[in-house]
Structure 1
Amino acid sequence: MALSLAVCAFPLQAADTPNPDRAEFNALSPVINALIQAEGPVELMERAEALEDENVLQAIALYIAASRERPDSLASYKAASLLARRGDDEAAQIYLEIADENGVLFPLQLTENPDFDDLRQTPVYLAALAKAQRIYDAISPTLVGATGGVLHPGAGAPPAACHPVVVWLHGYGINGFMDEGFQPLADTGAILLGINGTELLDTHTSFRWSSDGFEQTHVAVQKQLEALAKQECIDPKRVYLMGFSQGALHGGALLAQHPEAYAGALLISPGGRQPNPTTSKARGKRVVVINGEQEGPGNLQRADAFRTLFGSGNEVQSRVHDGEHEFPDDWQRSLPAALRWMMESGG
């Protein structure tokens, strides 16, 4: 029988009579239940994350408990962040120092977290940031903008002396790795080239695309295409872009700004913080724009803006599925069909 304080009962009180014991119990029970029931620090972290918006103190308690069970950087960092948000700067610095000692922090974790605004000039914060930057400078050259994965056409794919290439631009927070679920896209006859974003976020496998324009993305894509061309026979006139969310925003921008380098683009649920490009040099390209009907207003506007941007002088296919900010349910069939339509044009 699972242990839980949720089954505890208190004497009935009049509806208008405050019960201090019940108030204390309600404040503590989620924490105590989590400590009793959670199978380990990972589950404690999950429960803490679920409580962040509802009760910051309860979340802090669980993050601290998780950090003591497994002294890595993330639980201590999260505790430091929430403590700083509450204005408890002294305790926040203690846990930030613990996080710095027990793992790897990344510059963007610190510089873009508003919870640390009041700690920017403290010795603890500055030391953590300096160490994070040293680590970033050492590891990032082999990770950011690097090839995350390559998939080749299967046995039933159309034969070709030199294959077209579909460059996969991932969404915020992940990377260019592609599992076997992407194989139907390669079976269209194209080599799929997944590329990591140009900035590391908070782990060695978590990336985003540059938030300062789109040129870094273009440079990274071209560098990895050059590396691929040394190993494979690829058709440089048939390079297509396929992106999701922030990757779709950058894919659309690259086609608009560098049409000489790309033959078309498949843009799925464009998103991100940067504004869409407002002018396009692309002419004679094939573009597919897909978004979910239930996406937020900003993403819906982005998708429509790309339809308008490429609507003059190019061929545009459009689809709105009934989902949210995600691939359509039938993506393993519909996305290969979209790629085939793009590649039929020959660039």
Structure 2
Amino acid sequence: MKTLFAMTLATAMTLCTPILHATETPDAEEIAFHALSPVVSALINADDVDELMERAEKLEDTDTLQAIAVYLAASREDPKQLKAPYQVAALFARRGDDKLALRFLQEADDRGLWFGPLLAGDEDFSELRDTATYKTVLANAQERYKKIAVGKVGAISVLNPSASIPAPKACRPVVVWLHGYGINGELDESDQPLADTGAIILGINGTEMINATNSFRWIGPGFEGTHKVVQKGLKELEAQQCIDRKRVYLMGFSQGSQHAGALLAQHPEDYAGALLVSPGGMQPTPTVSKAHGKRVFVINGKKEGPGNQQMTVDFRQLFSEGNEVKSRTHEGGHFYPDDWKISFPQALRWVMREEG
């Protein structure tokens, strides 16, 4: 990182020059030091490009020039890095520097930028959408996305109960896991307590990749796209092993929780119940539910944001008539409670009417 440090310190000094010369007060040097210290700290302490990216992302909330300096360091350290020049372009666009924004957007395109859907909806570039550069970069990114997304969007991950869990006489039930924004449906051994309820856990990648091949989201408008992806995943699973299609339950976190609740409300013939953990998302929560005779367990944290708190209330109200609704509020925020490996399986057993 020594070469990187020297090179990017020079960049940071260039970016911070207005701060150094904008005042003639005696403490100008101290002001400059404080302006540079987060950048210097990032360069000294980051072990690799990934850590530089993480530090740059955090700096965006406090100072866009500092963030740009660290993103530039990551971009120069790894010529294959796509997100770094993209973020530099976005931050310059946010600051109103269209020339530099387009320059780094073109650099991202030259490196093979593929996250077209993200670019298409990125409000940072709203003032540049009529430019030839933006249109060309967007078209290229959309074409690359189509190729890269194949086999990844909607891909399934399966986790079966442990061998010690008795097999039922009939086919096993299924719990469909819908992940939160920015992650994916990949399951691993840490999820085994969920499968050891006796259900097959089916993880599904979201309906759109964001800016990495392991980062997905559930897109609208509405929830029909999610329903189609879930049904496709169930068909894939059914081709592999015997499943009870009358006992398909939904479990989600954050954005995935919102979509899980919406699917139960809109397609109760296909889903038998739901465990909704910390519902969140940008779409409106459904106001009408067709579900009747279902069990719904809603879990959220006391320290969640107002929007998530309201969505939790909305879902409890949505299923309150004609269904059984159970609730739990833990002491934390928008994350799993510490006891989830015990409390979530208990909640699932209740949803599946196997709590005895």
RMSD: 2.0
- State the SS of the aligned residue for 2:279: coil
**1:260 to partner: Cα distance:** 0.7
Q: Can you list the C-alpha shifts for 1:62-85, whole angstroms capped at 9, x where unaligned?
A: 211221111211111111111111
The share of aligned pairs that are identical, in percent, is: 60
- State the SS of the aligned residue for 1:238: strand
Q: 2:265 aligned with 1:256, yes or no?
A: yes
The TM-score normalised by the length of structure 2 is 0.88
- State the SS of the aligned residue for 1:318: strand
- Within 5 A, what are the aligned runs for 1:63-212? 63-71=71-79, 72-147=81-156, 149-160=157-168, 161-212=170-221
Q: Can you list the C-alpha shifts for 1:280-327, whole angstroms capped at 9, x where unaligned?
A: 111111110111111111111111111111111111111111110111
Q: Identify if the C-alpha distance between structure 1 residues 36 and 123 changes in structure 2 by more than 3 Å, giving closer, same or farther.
A: same
Contact 1:270 1:299 in 2 (8 A): yes
Distance, in Å, in 1 between the alignment partners of 2:342 and 2:191 is 11
Moved more, 80-89 or 99-108: 99-108
Moved more, 17-26 or 250-259: 17-26
Q: Can you list the C-alpha shifts for 1:86-117, whole angstroms capped at 9, x where unaligned?
A: 11111111111111112433123212222211
Contact 2:292 2:322 in 1 (8 A): yes
Distance, in Å, in 2 between the alignment partners of 1:302 and 1:38 is 38
Moved more, 269-278 or 91-100: 91-100
Determine the structure 1 residue equivalent to 2:69: 61
Q: Identify if the C-alpha distance between structure 1 residues 78 and 260 changes in structure 2 by more than 3 Å, giving closer, same or farther.
A: same
Q: Can you list the C-alpha shifts for 1:134-162, whole angstroms capped at 9, x where unaligned?
A: 01222324222221x10001122232131
Determine the structure 2 residue equivalent to 1:14: none
**1:32 to partner: Cα distance:** 3.4
- State the SS of the aligned residue for 2:181: coil
- State the SS of the aligned residue for 1:266: strand
**1:201 to partner: Cα distance:** 1.1
The TM-score normalised by the length of structure 1 is 0.91
Q: 2:330 aligned with 1:321, yes or no?
A: yes
Distance, in Å, in 2 between the alignment partners of 1:34 and 1:140 is 33
Distance, in Å, in 2 between the alignment partners of 1:36 and 1:280 is 55
Give the alignment partner of residue 332 of structure 1, picking from 323, 327, 341: 341
Q: 2:255 aligned with 1:246, yes or no?
A: yes
**1:191 to partner: Cα distance:** 0.4
Q: 2:271 aligned with 1:274, yes or no?
A: no
The one-letter amino acid paired with 2:186 is F
Contact 1:198 1:207 in 2 (8 A): yes
Q: Can you list the C-alpha shifts for 1:182-220, whole angstroms capped at 9, x where unaligned?
A: 101101110000011111111111111122101111111
Give the alignment partner of residue 236 of structure 1, picking from 245, 250, 264: 245
Q: Identify if the C-alpha distance between structure 1 residues 241 and 50 changes in structure 2 by more than 3 Å, giving closer, same or farther.
A: same
Is there any run of 5+ residues in structure 1 with no aligned partner, and where? 6-16
- State the SS of the aligned residue for 2:352: helix
Moved more, 272-281 or 28-37: 28-37
Determine the structure 2 residue equivalent to 1:32: 40
The one-letter amino acid paired with 1:25 is F
Superposition misfits of 4+ residues, deviation over 6 angstroms: none
Determine the structure 1 residue equivalent to 2:29: 21
Determine the structure 1 residue equivalent to 2:18: none
- State the SS of the aligned residue for 1:291: strand
Contact 1:286 1:345 in 2 (8 A): no
**1:37 to partner: Cα distance:** 4.1
Moved more, 175-184 or 117-126: 117-126
**1:345 to partner: Cα distance:** 6.5
Distance, in Å, in 2 between the alignment partners of 1:125 and 1:208 is 24
Q: Can you list the C-alpha shifts for 1:160-188, whole angstroms capped at 9, x where unaligned?
A: 13100000011111111012111011011
Contact 1:211 1:273 in 2 (8 A): no
Determine the structure 1 residue equivalent to 2:20: none
